[in-house]
């Protein structure tokens, strides 16, 4: 579904991504994890061309993204960011309908789809005509996810979507996202710095640091076979000292 | 009805209409106030005609200033126009430091007497608050909102029309409001170059030592400014209805 081929990216004179290659298969729940400044968000933003690599290639659906019109590409990819980026002057329903509106769906289809998504994300029908500032943080991010899902994209990019939420809300939304992913078979790429989130949701984890890929693998592989001491340190594995226990 | 009675806009409009249509009835009053004047009431034109002419000049010049001002501000916030931003801001700010009388005096030899130099001077003069307000409004866009709009697949034009301008509208309108109110006052001065406005009684009164004329003109200009200002207040409330919903 997504392929990074020897991608390099410089931002403001700083090398953010360094010769990185990475493959994400269709239907995968891929988690990009690493410390702040590891280049996770930059990597994500190159998928929908909000950033352009200065070396290498990014491919989505087998085609290089630079050969696809950015607007058309982005309308096929759901995008959720931490601060939600909801449009403050639009109601919940209008926010959810952003991409269908851009795609000029007929009004009836948009209404039906909005209803469907509000139900899917447990947004009360009474919130339809509310404005984002009238919602709780959790509700706002539910709207953010609903907006990303609106045009039923095969690919969903999430940039620390739940980082600003309280643990209870975060847990509920994580579960719902996992259910949506299982039910729909969508490919999800999510950035997080929360190891628990990565371990519990991901089908594959890609651990980054300093713009490089340290290791890719299933959560189990990462924990049982860390590729390097850095990976082990990040996963907190070196802290476990097993004392030899004699009889 | 009760709501109407407590509405300052309704009062201002009523006072303006009464004064414009009923100034003649006040002739004995002005005569008593200024017994030394032969003609205590301005009668060269009807006040309704003056008000109309005044409104027309303000509306035309302010409309031009709004279109050009927002256009300039939008242009210099696009990638292609960004290098010109400082220049535009500076030129517009310097333009504001010219006294309007000087602009009028310079315009007359170029385009002659009458409404044309007044329109030009007022349009130029009204530009600054609008450019500044539009820039401030566009600058205030939260980066994550822009990011989300682009990420959803909006083109630059759609971003501008659906997100940037609507969100900047309250600030933009506040700029248009001060521009228009300033223009209402400045348009009175335009009578010096022969444009017929509510300033005509003021200018004629000042040169002819007729204080009654000055008062009659000034009262109406002031009331008009207040009325229009209150109208903009109403408009502003509607533009940001979503903020208080």
> Which pLDDT band holds residue A245 (cuts at 50, 70, 90)?
low
Instruction: Check residue B243 and give its pLDDT.
Output: 85
Element (H, E) at A8: strand A2-11
Give pLDDT tens digits for A64-78: 999 999 999 999 999
Q: What's the pLDDT band for A44 if we cut at 50, 70, 90? A: very high
Read off the pLDDT band of B92 (50, 70, 90). confident
Put simply, whether B215 touches A (Cβ < 8 Å) is no
Query: Taking CB atoms and an 8 Å limit, are A98 and B152 in contact across chains?
Result: yes
Determine what percent of chain B is predicted with pLDDT higher than 90: 64
Q: Which residue has the higher pLDDT, A22 or B243?
A: A22
B153 and A74: CB-CB below 8 Å?
Answer: yes
Query: Which ranges of chain B does DSSP label H, i.e. alpha helix?
Result: 2-5, 8-22, 27-33, 47-77, 85-97, 100-111, 115-125, 127-139, 143-151, 156-158, 165-189, 199-207, 211-239, 241-244
Residues 223-242 of B with CB under 8 A from A: 242
Average pLDDT, chain A: 92
CB contact, 8 Å: A120 with chain B? no
Determine, for residues B158 and A102 on separate chains, whether the beta-carbon distance falls below 8 Å. yes
CATH number, domain containing residue B109: 1.10.3720.10
The C-alpha atoms of residue B85 and residue B204 are separated, in whole angstroms, by 42
pLDDT digits (tens, 9 = 90+) for B37-70: 888 899 888 999 999 999 999 999 999 999 999 9
- Residues A178, B143, B71, A69: is their CA dihedral positive or negative? negative
Chain B touched by A102 (CB under 8 Å): yes
Q: Which residue has the tokens 């696809």?
A: A68
Per the structure, the count of domains in chain B is: 1
> Can you give the pLDDT at residue A247?
53
Please name the helix (run of DSSP H) or strand (run of DSSP E) that holds residue A29, with its range, or none. Answer: strand A29-33
- What average pLDDT does range A73-97 have in this prediction? 95
Of A193 and A93, the structure prediction assigns the larger pLDDT to: A93
Residue B24 lies in a domain: no
Per-residue DSSP letters for B175-199? Answer: HHHHHHHHHHHHHHHGGGGT--STH
Q: Which of A75, A85, A87 sits opposite B153 (nearest CB)?
A: A75
Lowest mean pLDDT among A11-15, B143-147, B152-156: A11-15
Q: What is the pLDDT of residue A240?
A: 53
Residue B38: inside a domain: no
Tell me whether residue B33 is in a domain. no
pTM value? 0.87
Cα separation of B233 and B189, whole Å? 25
Tokens 């209404």 map to which residue?
A: A111
Report the pLDDT value the prediction gives residue B104, as an integer from 0 to 100. Answer: 82
Identify which has the larger pLDDT, A31 or B115.
A31
Structural domain includes residue B14 = no
Residues on chain B touching A72 (C-beta within 8 angstroms): 153
Out of B145, B152, B242, the one facing A131 most closely (by C-beta) is B242
**The token pair that represents A51 in the structure block:** 């950033």
Tell me if B144 is assigned to some domain: yes
| Residue B152 Cα, gap to closest chain A Cα (Å) | 6
Q: Which of residues 49-88 of A touch B (CB under 8 A)?
A: 50, 70-75, 79, 81, 83-88
Which residues of chain A neighbour B155 with C-beta distances below 8 Å?
A: 71
pLDDT score recorded for residue B93: 84
Token pair in block for residue A69: 């019109």
When pLDDT is averaged across residues B176-184 and rounded to a whole number, the result is 94
pLDDT, residue B227, reads 96
Q: How confident is the model at residue A242 (pLDDT cuts 50, 70, 90)?
A: low
- Cα angle at A163 between B145 and A45, to 5 degrees? 50
Residue pLDDT, tens place only, B217-228: 999 999 999 999
Mean of pLDDT values over B60-86: 95
Largest CA distance in chain A: 76
The model's pLDDT over A182-240, given as tens digits with 9 standing for 90+, comes to 999 999 999 998 899 999 999 999 999 999 999 999 999 998 998 888 888 888 876 55
Let me know if residue B143 belongs to a domain.
yes
CA dihedral B195, B200, B205, B206 (to 10 degrees): -50
Q: In this complex, is the C-beta atom of B245 within 8 Å of any C-beta atom belonging to chain A?
A: yes
State the pLDDT confidence band at A106, using cuts at 50, 70 and 90. very high
Cβ-Cβ contacts under 8 Å for A52 (sequence gap 6 or more): A46, A66
pLDDT at A246: 52
Which residue, chain included where needed, has tokens 């927002």?
Answer: B70
Determine which of A60, A98, A105 to mutate to test the interface with B (most B C-beta atoms within 10 Å): A98
Q: Is B167 on the interface with A (CB under 8 A)?
A: yes
Query: Which residue from B147, B155, B166 is facing A89, i.e. has the nearest CB?
Result: B166
Question: What is the pLDDT at residue B109?
Answer: 84
Q: State how beta strands A77-81 and A155-159 pair.
A: parallel
Cβ–Cβ below 8 Å for B154 and A134: no
Both tokens of B197, joined, read 């406005």
Q: CA-CA distances (angstroms) from residue A24 to A59, A216, B96? A: 10, 10, 58
Nearest CA to A147 out of A101, A181, A108 is that of A101
Strand ranges (E), A99-219: 155-159, 187-192, 204-209, 212-217
Structural domain range at position B187: 48-244
**Do B153 and A71 make contact, defined as CB atoms within 8 angstroms?**
yes
What DSSP string runs through B58-76? HHHHHHHHHHHHHHHHHHH
Stretch B162-169: mean pLDDT: 96
Q: For residue range A119-163, what is the model confidence (pLDDT) as tens digits? A: 999 999 999 999 999 999 999 999 999 999 999 999 999 999 998
Q: What's chain B's average pLDDT?
A: 91
In a domain, B175, yes or no: yes
B245: pLDDT strictly greater than 80: no
CA dihedral of residues B4, B6, B11, B12 (deg, nearest 10): -110
Query: Position of tokens 């009238």?
Result: A134
For residue B84, the number of C-alpha atoms closer than 13 Å in the C-beta half-sphere is 13
- What pLDDT is attached to residue A244? 58
Buried b (16+ CB within 10 A) or exposed e, B63-85: ebbbebbbebbbebbeeeeeeeb
**CA of B240 vs chain A CAs: smallest distance (Å):** 8
Structural domains of chain A sorted by starting position, each given as residue range(s) with its CATH number in brackets: 2-235 (3.40.50.300)
A85/B44 Cα distance (integer angstroms): 61
CA atoms of A80 and A173, how far apart (whole Å)? 13
Give the three-class secondary structure for B16.
helix
Establish if B17 belongs to a structural domain: no
Work out the minimum CA distance from A229 to partner chain B, whole angstroms: 36
The rounded percent of chain A whose pLDDT value lies above 90 is 80
pLDDT surpasses 80 at B214: yes
Chain B residues with CB inside 8 Å of A88's CB?
145, 167, 242-243
Residues of B in contact with A44 (CB under 8 A): none
């Amino acid at each position: 579904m997504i392929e990074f081929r020897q991608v390099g990216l410089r931002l403001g004179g700083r090398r953010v991504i360094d010769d990185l290659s990475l493959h994400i298969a269709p239907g995968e729940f891929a988690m990009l994890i690493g410390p702040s400044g590891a280049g996770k968000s930059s990597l994500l933003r190159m998928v929908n061309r909000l950033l352009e690599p200065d070396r290498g290639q990014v491919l989505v659906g087998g085609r290089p993204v630079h050969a696809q019109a950015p607007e058309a590409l982005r309308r096929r990819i759901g995008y959720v960011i931490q601060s939600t980026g909801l449009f403050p002057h639009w109601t919940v329903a209008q926010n959810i309908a952003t991409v269908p509106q851009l795609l000029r769906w007929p009004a009836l289809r948009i209404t039906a789809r909005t209803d469907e998504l509000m139900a899917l994300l447990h947004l009360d029908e009474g919130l339809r005509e509310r404005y984002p500032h009238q919602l709780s943080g959790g509700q706002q991010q539910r709207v953010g996810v609903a907006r990303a899902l609106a045009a039923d994209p095969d690919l969903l990019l999430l940039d620390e979507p739940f980082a600003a939420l309280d643990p209870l809300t975060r847990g509920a939304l994580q579960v719902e996202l996992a259910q949506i992913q299982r039910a729909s078979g969508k490919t999800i790429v999510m950035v997080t710095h929360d190891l628990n989130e990565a371990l519990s949701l991901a089908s594959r984890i890609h651990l980054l640091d300093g713009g490089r890929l340290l290791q890719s693998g299933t959560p189990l592989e990462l924990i049982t076979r860390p590729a390097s001491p850095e990976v082990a340190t990040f996963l907190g594995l070196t802290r476990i000292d097993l004392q030899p226990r004699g009889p | 009805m009760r709501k109407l009675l407590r509405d300052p806009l309704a009062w201002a409009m009523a006072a303006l209409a009464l004064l414009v249509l009923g100034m003649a009835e006040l002739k004995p009053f002005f005569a008593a106030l200024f017994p030394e004047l032969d003609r205590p009431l301005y009668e060269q034109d009807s006040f309704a005609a003056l008000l109309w002419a005044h409104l027309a000049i303000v509306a035309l010049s302010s409309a031009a200033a709004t279109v050009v001002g927002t256009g300039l501000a939008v242009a210099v916030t696009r990638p292609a126009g960004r290098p010109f931003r400082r220049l535009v801001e500076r030129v517009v700010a310097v333009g504001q430091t010219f006294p309007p009388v000087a602009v009028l005096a310079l315009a007359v030899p170029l385009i002659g007497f009458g409404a044309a130099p007044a329109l030009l001077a007022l349009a130029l003069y009204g530009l600054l608050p609008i450019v500044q307000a539009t820039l401030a409004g566009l600058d205030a866009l939260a980066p994550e909102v822009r990011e989300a709009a682009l990420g959803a697949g909006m083109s630059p034009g759609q971003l501008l029309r659906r997100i940037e301008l609507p969100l900047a509208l309250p600030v933009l309108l506040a700029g248009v409001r001060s521009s228009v109110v300033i223009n209402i006052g400045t348009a009175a001065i335009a009578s010096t170059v022969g444009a017929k406005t509510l300033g005509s009684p003021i200018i004629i009164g000042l040169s002819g030592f007729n204080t009654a004329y000055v008062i009659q003109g000034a009262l109406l200009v002031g009331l008009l400014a207040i009325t229009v200002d209150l109208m903009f207040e109403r408009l502003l409330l509607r533009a940001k209805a979503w903020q208080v919903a």
